[in-house]
Amino acid sequence: MKASPGARSWIAAGVRHELLTRALPALRHDMAAPVSVIRMALLMLKRQVGATPIDSSACEERVALIDNQVSELVEGIRSLRDWELATADDGITRSALVAQCVGLMRAAFDMHGVTLDVDAALDPLEGEPRRPQGAALRYLLLGGLGYLHDSVPEAGAIRIDADGADALRLSALPRESGGVSPVLGAHRAPRALAIDAIALQSLAEDLGYTVALERDSVRFSLAAG
């Protein structure tokens, strides 16, 4: 039976949820780090306030540190809105998109024995154009990374290359050692939650993008349609 449009939308929503779940550890870390600094700064401030005489310059320094960390925490919480497709965003540059997604997944992929390699052509450029629908592009790139991670068990690296002026190509490269250790293999997503070709195509179609899939590569344009 062919899936209805509503069913396909639910499939895409499930894929987005899985991708967000995979990114959550990095997001939690980014928001928890300022909290740890704030707690330590408050402890030091309490000691300094209780000292005789009070070192006002040291207290001001601790207050400034706390203020800075609160700002970072607020920014991290606000960044959660970037994942909402219904929220209008200012778009994103190609280099920033790659940097964000690599930052979110590098630690998890490293644990699985998969390194992320980025083309130097994707370094930030002055005056680089912003592509619309930053949230959609983030899900799409994370989906491509997840597809290669889950579908190519022999991959030891995933390379992200610029493809022309407005596209990205992701390629899975073989593991140099020629095998996957049982420990690393055990960390891969359960088969039922793996990002396979159907999941990635469903995600792309729901977001309004076209992806070209091969077993060990993914290519997509940053322009919808």
- The structure tokens 């997840």 sit at 146
pLDDT greater than 90 at residue 5: no
Q: Give the pLDDT of residue 182.
A: 42
Q: Is residue 119 within 8 Å of 194, Cβ to Cβ?
A: no
Task: Kindly report the number of other CB atoms within 10 A of residue 222's CB atom.
Answer: 23
pLDDT greater than 70 at residue 37: yes
What span, in angstroms and rounded, lies between the C-alpha atoms of 138 and 20? 10
- In this prediction, residues 164-170 reach a mean pLDDT of 94
pLDDT greater than 90 at residue 162: yes
pLDDT tens-digit profile of 112-160? Answer: 889 999 999 999 988 899 999 999 999 999 999 999 999 998 899 999 9
What span, in angstroms and rounded, lies between the C-alpha atoms of 165 and 159? 17
pLDDT greater than 60 at residue 207: yes
Q: Which helix (H) or strand (E) holds 103?
A: helix 94-111
pLDDT greater than 60 at residue 190: no
SS3 state at 163? coil
Q: Is residue 121 within 8 Å of 161, Cβ to Cβ?
A: yes
pLDDT greater than 90 at residue 100: yes
What span, in angstroms and rounded, lies between the C-alpha atoms of 219 and 155? 17
**Token pair in block for residue 96:** 């920033």
Domain membership of residue 124 as a residue range: 5-221
pLDDT tens-digit profile of 78-93? Answer: 777 878 887 777 889 9
Residue 184: Cβ-neighbour burial (10 angstroms; 0-12, 13-18, 19+)? middle
What span, in angstroms and rounded, lies between the C-alpha atoms of 225 and 21? 27
Q: Which helix (H) or strand (E) holds 118?
A: strand 115-118
The residue among 26 and 183 whose pLDDT is bigger is 26
- In this prediction, residues 199-210 reach a mean pLDDT of 94
Percent of the chain with pLDDT over 70: 90
Q: Give the pLDDT of residue 75.
A: 81
pLDDT greater than 60 at residue 15: yes
**Token pair in block for residue 33:** 């780090």
The residue among 216 and 41 whose pLDDT is bigger is 216
Q: Give the pLDDT of residue 3.
A: 59
- In this prediction, residues 209-223 reach a mean pLDDT of 94
DSSP character at residue 40 = H
What span, in angstroms and rounded, lies between the C-alpha atoms of 106 and 101? 8
What rounded mean pLDDT belongs to the chain? 86
Q: Is residue 131 within 8 Å of 92, Cβ to Cβ?
A: yes
Q: Give the pLDDT of residue 47.
A: 83
When divided into structural domains, the chain yields a total of 1
